[in-house]
Amino acid sequence: MSVDREQPAPEHRRPDGVTDATVEAVGKLSEALETVEQARGHLYAFHQLLGRADRQLGDAVEQLIASGHPACAERLQTSMLGRNVLEGRWTFQIVEEFDDGYWSEFRDHEKAVRDVLLGGRRHLHEAEMKEARRTHGRPGHEARPAPDE
């Protein structure tokens, strides 16, 4: 099957009747979702860093005991080791609450808007920017990859 690599794939072409303003507005919504995705990544990094810190604290407690400082170790073990980072929550609970609430709902809303206004197409704003910026006909500037054969 021969594919014209100079033409964007159908899912990256604007549906008939869709205005520039609509493409821009949906693009801005998708950009906001991408920012939420980036924040989610930071939240997961926070989760992993706090978990690592708690394990390191456990190692420090053991070393304090081994080096003859059981009172210092006891205070840390009972006050900080395994402590909630927010009221009643370890970081995994924060991540789960965020994922099940804000993040999931934002994704659902963004998809619903794309479905209604752009026929479900993703990254249409970027696809059109690519078409405007690339050098047509030049190697390395194709509209889409070669098909798998």
pLDDT tens for each residue of 107-119? 999 999 999 999 9
Q: List the domain boundaries for the chain.
A: 15-49+87-133
Closest to 118 measured CA to CA, from 7, 29, 4, 5: 29
pLDDT at 3 (0 to 100):
74
Can you give the pTM of this predicted structure? Answer: 0.86
pLDDT tens for each residue of 135-147? 999 999 999 998 8
